[in-house]
């Protein structure tokens, strides 16, 4: 993965340590291809393993470390959010949704395994994610914190979060939408899971004082991340009726907005001082790739 200028060496070290740990853990905890039904497990492993930036799991680990936890203890939570993210990508690529044939540089799940298997692979990842979250109790986290983590992720991806945002997005594709609607769509569709990732550190560590700063960080980072993603896709999608920031606000204004949101995310981390160095670098890395 290339690091944009300005990213700190500290982030490179963090990636070098934790990216392989995330891969190993996903490989270990996903059902093996040898297990029946083999085709389901091949579809799952095709979609999850060996590709993707792992931004969300790295965010969970960074948020947890900033709150004094050993990231090793929250690997289950990190893998859970990646499983959920991958389920959302599989379903988003389906012909009835975004109808995309390539994902993460390889054939989309439904192209490789058929539509029914792609729906079921997504469903299975969704369920696996929650079983991994519940297993956090085996890492010695008190039950009330584990319950809160489960609730946090469930709310983030449900009708008031990711799935609701996806529905608003589908509706927007069918007609005109005001610019304010774009922000609302993406706050839910992309932002709510990113926000939850940022909050899992304070939730699992019990460091209540860090909850507000990390919530604000997650909120602003979610918007900045989505604008960055839209900017990267802007040329390819210029002709499509999509609710994107460049379409709603133009390229220059979108770039300005992503900078403003990134600055607000960094500002929110002030109370954490030096503890937030990796979170700062991660935010810059995620957003500046589009500039």
Place of tokens 């959920």: 84
Residue 92 CB, shortest distance to ligand GRG, in Å, is 4
Residues in the interface with ligand GRG (CB under 6 A) total 16
Among 8, 55, 251, 275, binds ligand GRG (CB under 6 A): 55
Residue 232 CB, shortest distance to ligand GRG, in Å, is 9
Nearer to ligand GRG, 30 or 146 (CB): 30
Q: Are 158 and 95 in contact (CB under 8 A)?
A: no
Nearer to ligand GRG, 19 or 215 (CB): 19
CA distance readout (Å), 254 to 183, 228, 264: 11, 8, 15
Nearer to ligand GRG, 108 or 276 (CB): 108
Q: Distance (Å, rounded) from C-alpha 243 to C-alpha 176?
A: 9
Q: What angle do CA 177, 187, 168 make, to 5 degrees?
A: 40
Question: 169 is written with which tokens?
Answer: 């997005």
Q: Which stretch binds ligand GRG (CB under 6 A): 49-57, 141-149, 173-181, 207-215?
A: 49-57
184 sits near ligand GRG (criterion: CB under 6 A): no
Q: Taking phi first (over 0 means left), then psi (-120 to 50 degrees means alpha), and beta for anything else, what does residue 250 get?
A: left
Site string for ligand GRG, 92-111 (x = CB under 6 A): x----x------x-------
Residue 286 CB, shortest distance to ligand GRG, in Å, is 8
Among 88, 207, 254, 258, binds ligand GRG (CB under 6 A): 88
188 sits near ligand GRG (criterion: CB under 6 A): no
Nearer to ligand GRG, 229 or 288 (CB): 229
Among 46, 189, 199, 220, binds ligand GRG (CB under 6 A): 189
Q: Which stretch binds ligand GRG (CB under 6 A): 88-96, 128-136, 147-155, 276-284?
A: 88-96
CA distance readout (Å), 38 to 23, 43, 86, 121, 131: 20, 9, 19, 12, 20
Q: Distance (Å, rounded) from C-alpha 282 to C-alpha 61?
A: 11
234 sits near ligand GRG (criterion: CB under 6 A): no
Q: 152-187 in b/e burial notation, b at 16+ Cβ within 10 A?
A: bbeebbeeebbbbbbebbeebeeeebeeebbbbbbb
Binding site for ligand GRG (CB under 6 A): 52-53, 55, 85, 88-89, 91-92, 97, 104, 162-163, 166, 189-190, 229
């Amino acid at each position: 993965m290339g690091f944009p200028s300005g990213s700190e060496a500290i982030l490179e070290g963090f990636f070098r340590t934790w990216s392989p740990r995330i891969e190993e853990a996903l490989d270990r905890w996903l059902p093996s291809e040898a297990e029946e039904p083999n085709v389901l497990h091949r579809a799952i492993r095709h979609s999850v393993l060996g590709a993707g930036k792992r931004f969300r799991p790295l965010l969970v680990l960074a948020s947890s470390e900033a709150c004094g936890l050993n990231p090793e203890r929250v690997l289950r939570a990190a893998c859970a959010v990646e499983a959920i993210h991958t389920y959302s990508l599989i379903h988003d690529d389906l012909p009835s949704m975004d109808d995309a044939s390539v994902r993460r540089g390889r054939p989309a799940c439904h192209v490789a395994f058929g539509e029914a298997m792609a729906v079921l692979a997504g469903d299975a990842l969704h369920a696996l994610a929650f079983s991994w979250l519940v297993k956090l109790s085996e890492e010695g986290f008190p039950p009330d914190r584990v319950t809160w983590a489960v609730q946090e992720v469930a709310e983030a991806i449900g009708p008031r979060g990711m799935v609701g945002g996806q529905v608003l997005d589908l509706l927007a594709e069918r007609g005109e939408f005001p610019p304010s609607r774009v922000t609302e769509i993406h706050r839910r569709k992309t932002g709510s899971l990113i926000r939850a990732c940022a909050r899992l550190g304070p939730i699992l560590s019990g460091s209540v004082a860090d909850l507000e700063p990390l919530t604000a960080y997650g909120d602003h980072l979610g918007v900045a991340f989505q604008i960055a993603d839209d900017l990267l896709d802007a040329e390819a999608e210029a002709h499509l009726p999509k609710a994107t920031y460049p379409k709603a606000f133009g390229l220059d204004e979108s770039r300005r907005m992503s900078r403003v949101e990134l600055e607000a995310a960094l500002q929110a981390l002030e109370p954490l001082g030096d503890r937030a160095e990796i979170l700062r670098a991660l935010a810059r890395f995620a957003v500046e790739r589009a500039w």
